[in-house]
Structure 1
Amino acid sequence: MKIKGNSKRGLTGTTMGFFFGFAAVALYGPTAIKFKEAMDLTPLMLGLLIAIPALSGSLLRIPFGAWVDTTGGKKPFFILMLLSVIGLGGVTLLLATNYPHGLEGLYPLILVFGFLSGCGIATFSVGIGQTSYWFPRNKQGLALGTFAGIGNLAPGIFSVVLPIYLSYYGFISAYFAWFLFLLLGTLLYGLLAVDAYYFQYRRKGMSGEHAKEKAAQKGQEMFPLGGVKDSLINSAKIKNTWALVALYFTTFGGFLALTAWFPTYWGIYQEFEPIKAGLFTAIFSIFASAIRIPGGSIADKLGGEKVAMLSMVAILLASSILSFGHSITISMIAVLLLASGMGIANAAVFKLVPVYVPKAVGGAAGWIGGLGAFGGFALPPIMGAIVEGYGHIGYARGFVAFVVLAAINLFIIYLLLKNKAKADSVLKMA
C-alpha cells in the first residue's frame, strides 16, 4: 500500500496554497474607485463591494475547517481554491466585456463573484488543520507559524507590487494577471498537496483504529474524532476554544482591520502621499506576517500562553502610544511593536489549538479562524465611530479599541494559565 508525502511536503503545499489564495482579493480595495465610477456606487454599496470577499473568507473558515477532520485538508482546500478561481475569473470576464459603460445593473452579480473570490482566504482554517495533523505537538508552533506567516505575507507584497503593475499595465490587465496567478497556484496546490497518513489509510479502506495504528507507526501523533458536525460541536463545547477565539479576534482580526485602516491613518492623520501611505502600511503587514514564523518557534519553547501574554502587553503599549502620539518616528516604532505583538500572538494562539482541542483541531481552527477573522469587519467601524466623535484626532484615538481588547485578553490568558495549573495539580494528585 503506497502512502504519499511527508510533513515537509504537507507544509509546503498548504503554505503555497494559502499564499496564492490571497490573489483573488488583493485587487478589490485598490481598484474600488474604478467600480464606483463605472456604476455610480454609493459609499455603502462600495463598502459592501470591498468587504464581501473578506466576509466569505472569514465565515467559510468554520465549516471548511471542520471538514478537515473527516477527509483531510486537500479536498476542502482545493474546492475553496476552485471557487476563488471562479469568482476572480467571473469579475475579470465582466470587466473585459462590459467595462466601463456596461457594468450598470451588474452590481449583484459582481457581489456574487466577490463572495466567491474570498474563498481563497478561507483556506486558512483548512490549512491549519491539514498542517497540524502532519506534525508532532512539540513542533506545532514552528510549523503553523511558517504556514500562516509566509501565507500572510501576500497582502503586504501585493500592496507594494499592485500599484506598480497598475501604473504600467492598467486596471483590467491587472485582473487578468492576478487571475492567471491564482489559477497557477490552484493547479500547483492540486499537484503538491497531500493529506496526513491517517487520512490516506482511511481512503484505502482501513478502519479508523487500524488507520491510527499504521499512521502512528509513521510518526503521526494527532487524530480526529467524529465528523464535521461532531468536530464543530466537540470544539464548541470546550470553553477554551472561545478563549482562543477572543485572542485571535484581536490579533488576526486586528491585523486585517489595520491593514485596511493604516492607509487612512497615514494619509489623513499623518498627511502622507498615497504611495508613501501604502508603503508604510505594507511595512506593518509584511512585518506582522514575517515575525509569525519565529513566533511559532518561540511559542514551542516558552509555551503559547506565556508568549501570548507578552504579545498582548506589546499590543497594549503600542496601541497606547498610537492613541496619544503624533510624532511620525514614535508612531512608526509603535507600529512595528504592534506588528510584532500581533504576529507573534497569532502564532501562539494556533500553537494552543492542538493543546486545548486535540480531538477536534479542524473544528476549533474553523471557529477560531472564522470568528477571529471577523474582527477585520467589526473593528474598522468602531474606529470610524471614534473618528466621527473626535474629529481629526480620532484617527489616533481609534487605537484605544486595541488598548481595551489587549487588556481583556490579558485577563483571559491569566485565566487560561490558572485553569491549566489547576488541571496539572489534579493530574499529579491522581
Structure 2
Amino acid sequence: MTTAADAPLRRGKEWLTDWNPEDEKTWDSRLAWRTLTITTYNLTLAFITWFLVSAIAPRLNNIGFTLSTDQLYWLTAMPGLAGGLLRMIWMFLPPIMGTRRMVTLSTLLLIIPMAGWGWAVRDEQTPYWILMTLSFLCGIGGGAFSGFMPSTSYFFPKRKQGVALGIQAGVGNFGVSIVQFLIPWVIGFALLGTTAITPQDVVKPDPGLGGNIWLHNAGIVFIPWVIAGAALAWMFLRSVPIQANFRQQLDIFREKHTWIMTALYLMTFGAFSGFSAQFGLLIKNLYGAFPDAPDPLRYAFLGPLVGSAARVAWGPLCDKYGGAVWTVISGVGMTMATVFTAFYLSPESMAEFAPFVWGMLAIFFFAGVGNASTFKQMPMIFERRQAGGVIGWTAAIAAFGPFLFGIGLASFPAVGFFAFWAAFFAACVALAWWFYARKGAERPS
C-alpha cells in the first residue's frame, strides 16, 4: 500500500494528503460526514436500481406479458446474480480509482437499466432475453455497494465506523423500500414531462389496478435524481490516499476470518436482500389464489423498511457494546423467526396471512440488526485497508442473496427452503459466538 505522495497519478486537489482518521488533530470530520451524506444518497439510488425488477415483475403479466412463475422468479433473481458478480469487481476499485471517480461513474451507470426498463415495458412482445439482460444490468446497483462502503470506511476512525457504516448501509437499504413503495403509486398516472407516453392497458385485472397503468414510469422516474447524485459526487467528493493494486488486495483471502465473516454477512444481508427481492412474489404465489387475496405490493416494502431501520438504529448500539454480541442475537432471532414463518407457507385460508407477514418482518428486523453488527466487527478484526477489502468481498457474496433465494424458491418447496436457511442461520450463530463473542474469543469484536 502506498500514499498519494508516492504515486504521481494521485496528485491534484481531488486527493487528500496525510489523511489519518485516528488522529483527532488532523481528521476533518466535516469532510467525512459530507462524504457520508453524498455517498449514502447515491447508494440509495443504487439500491433502488438493484431492486427495480422486484417492483416491476409482479405487474408484467397484468399488461400482457405471459411469463410463468419460474420465469418471474428468475427475472427477480438475476439482479442478485449480477450484483454478486459485479461486487467482486467493485470491491477492488476504491484504492484504484478513488472515491470521487468511482462514485460518480458508478452512479451514472444506473441510468442504463432505468432507461432500459422504461423502454422494455412499453411492448409486451419484448423478448424474455432482453428482460433478463435488463435485470442483469440492474445488478450494477448491487455491485456499487462493495465500492461505496469500503471507500466510506476510509474517512472515519474505528470508534465511529459502526455509526457511519450503519447509517450508510441502513439508509442505502431504504432504497429497497422506496422502490417497492413508490412504484405502485407512480405507475398510476402520467409523470410531468412524459404525458405524451401512452399508458399500458391492463389485460389481467388485479387488486388496486384500474384500466391502464404507466409501468414505464418505474424505470424513468429516478433518472433525474441519478443525474443530480453524480453531479454532487463529482463536485464535492475527494479521495483518500490509500492505494493498492489488484494483487496486493488478494491477501485477505489468506485470512480465515475473511471466510467466517463472509458466512455471517451472508446470514444477515444475504437473507435481507434475498427476501426483499422475493417477498412480493411469495405473497402472490402463496396467498394470491384466495378470493380476498392481498395486493403484494402493499406489503412488499414493509420488510426492507423494517430491516433498514434496524440497521440504522443498531449502529450506535454496536459501537457501544461491540458487534459480536449483536451478531449472535441477530442469528438466534433469525433462526427462530424462520422456523415460525415456515408453519404458514402452505396456507388453507387468509387467516394465516397475518402471522406469515409478522414472521417475515421478524426475519427482516433481526437481519437488519446483524447487518449493522457485522459491519462493526470487520473494522475491528482487520487493519484498515484489509477491512475495506473484506467489507467489499463479504458484501459481494451476500449480494447473491436475491439470486439464491430466487432459484431456491423456484426449485424447491417453500417449507424445505426455509428449513435449510434456518439451519444455516443456526450454524452461523455458533461461529459468531465461538470466534468473536464468547469470553476468551480469538478476535473479540
Shared fold (TM-score greater than 0.5)?
yes
TM-aligned CA deviation for residue 171 of structure 1: 1.7
SS at 1:266 equivalent: helix
TM-aligned CA deviation for residue 422 of structure 1: 5.8
Higher mean alpha-carbon deviation, 112-121 vs 268-277, is at: 268-277
Residue 150 in structure 1 maps to residue 171 in structure 2: yes
Change (3 A) 1:95 1:419: same
Q: Write the letter of the residue equivalent to 2:263.
A: A
**Hey, what does 1:215 align to over in structure 2?**
none
For 1:82 and 1:191, locate their aligned partners in 2 and report how far apart those are by CA, in whole Å: 14
| CA deviations over 1:4-24 (Å, ceiling 9, x no partner) | 961110110111010011333
| CA deviations over 1:167-196 (Å, ceiling 9, x no partner) | 223122332223333333333333343334
For 1:56 and 1:269, locate their aligned partners in 2 and report how far apart those are by CA, in whole Å: 27
**Hey, what does 1:356 align to over in structure 2?**
381
1:404 to 418, 423, 437: 423
Change (3 A) 1:361 1:340: same
TM-aligned CA deviation for residue 85 of structure 1: 1.6
In the TM superposition, what are the counterparts of 1:301-316 in structure 2 within 5 Å?
A: 301-316=320-335
Q: Percent identity?
A: 24
Change (3 A) 1:53 1:316: closer
Q: Write the letter of the residue equivalent to 1:291.
A: A
**Hey, what does 1:221 align to over in structure 2?**
none
SS at 2:239 equivalent: coil
Residue 9 in structure 1 maps to residue 34 in structure 2: yes
Q: Write the letter of the residue equivalent to 2:98.
A: G
TM-aligned CA deviation for residue 72 of structure 1: 2.8
**Hey, what does 2:85 align to over in structure 1?**
59
For 2:257 and 2:244, locate their aligned partners in 1 and report how far apart those are by CA, in whole Å: 19
1:74 to 100, 121, 129: 100
Change (3 A) 1:418 1:51: closer
For 2:389 and 2:284, locate their aligned partners in 1 and report how far apart those are by CA, in whole Å: 40
**Hey, what does 2:251 align to over in structure 1?**
234
**Hey, what does 1:263 align to over in structure 2?**
280
TM-aligned CA deviation for residue 268 of structure 1: 4.2
Gap runs ≥5 in structure 2: 1-11, 17-27, 191-213
TM-score (norm 2): 0.77
TM-aligned CA deviation for residue 353 of structure 1: 1.6
Residue 173 in structure 1 maps to residue 191 in structure 2: no
**Hey, what does 1:324 align to over in structure 2?**
343
Q: Say if 2:156 and 2:164, in contact at 8 Å, map to a contact too.
A: yes
For 1:420 and 1:186, locate their aligned partners in 2 and report how far apart those are by CA, in whole Å: 46
TM-aligned CA deviation for residue 329 of structure 1: 4.5
For 1:376 and 1:367, locate their aligned partners in 2 and report how far apart those are by CA, in whole Å: 17
For 1:373 and 1:52, locate their aligned partners in 2 and report how far apart those are by CA, in whole Å: 11
Q: Say if 2:55 and 2:179, in contact at 8 Å, map to a contact too.
A: no
Higher mean alpha-carbon deviation, 342-351 vs 416-425, is at: 416-425
Change (3 A) 1:382 1:12: same
Residue 20 in structure 1 maps to residue 39 in structure 2: no
Change (3 A) 1:122 1:310: same
Q: Write the letter of the residue equivalent to 2:150.
A: G
Change (3 A) 1:302 1:356: same
For 1:244 and 1:335, locate their aligned partners in 2 and report how far apart those are by CA, in whole Å: 24
2:182 to 155, 158, 161: 161
For 1:424 and 1:299, locate their aligned partners in 2 and report how far apart those are by CA, in whole Å: 16
**Hey, what does 1:116 align to over in structure 2?**
137
TM-aligned CA deviation for residue 297 of structure 1: 1.3
TM-score (norm 1): 0.79
For 1:145 and 1:184, locate their aligned partners in 2 and report how far apart those are by CA, in whole Å: 24
Change (3 A) 1:401 1:91: same
2:237 to 193, 196, 205: 193
SS at 2:55 equivalent: coil
TM-aligned CA deviation for residue 108 of structure 1: 4.6
Change (3 A) 1:35 1:382: closer
Q: Write the letter of the residue equivalent to 1:191.
A: M
Change (3 A) 1:7 1:381: same
Higher mean alpha-carbon deviation, 68-77 vs 108-117, is at: 108-117
Higher helix proportion: 1
For 1:418 and 1:155, locate their aligned partners in 2 and report how far apart those are by CA, in whole Å: 31
TM-aligned CA deviation for residue 348 of structure 1: 0.9
Change (3 A) 1:380 1:290: same
For 1:56 and 1:184, locate their aligned partners in 2 and report how far apart those are by CA, in whole Å: 25
For 1:67 and 1:159, locate their aligned partners in 2 and report how far apart those are by CA, in whole Å: 30
Change (3 A) 1:162 1:249: same
For 1:261 and 1:27, locate their aligned partners in 2 and report how far apart those are by CA, in whole Å: 12
Change (3 A) 1:397 1:49: closer
Q: Say if 2:306 and 2:365, in contact at 8 Å, map to a contact too.
A: yes
**Hey, what does 1:202 align to over in structure 2?**
none
Q: Say if 1:69 and 1:363, in contact at 8 Å, map to a contact too.
A: no
Gap runs ≥5 in structure 1: 200-223, 388-393, 426-430
**Hey, what does 2:153 align to over in structure 1?**
132
Q: Say if 1:126 and 1:366, in contact at 8 Å, map to a contact too.
A: yes
For 1:255 and 1:90, locate their aligned partners in 2 and report how far apart those are by CA, in whole Å: 26
SS at 2:53 equivalent: coil
For 1:148 and 1:422, locate their aligned partners in 2 and report how far apart those are by CA, in whole Å: 27
Q: Write the letter of the residue equivalent to 1:57.
A: G
Q: Say if 2:265 and 2:374, in contact at 8 Å, map to a contact too.
A: yes
**Hey, what does 1:340 align to over in structure 2?**
365
For 2:161 and 2:437, locate their aligned partners in 1 and report how far apart those are by CA, in whole Å: 23
For 2:355 and 2:443, locate their aligned partners in 1 and report how far apart those are by CA, in whole Å: 43
**Hey, what does 2:433 align to over in structure 1?**
414
For 2:437 and 2:306, locate their aligned partners in 1 and report how far apart those are by CA, in whole Å: 32
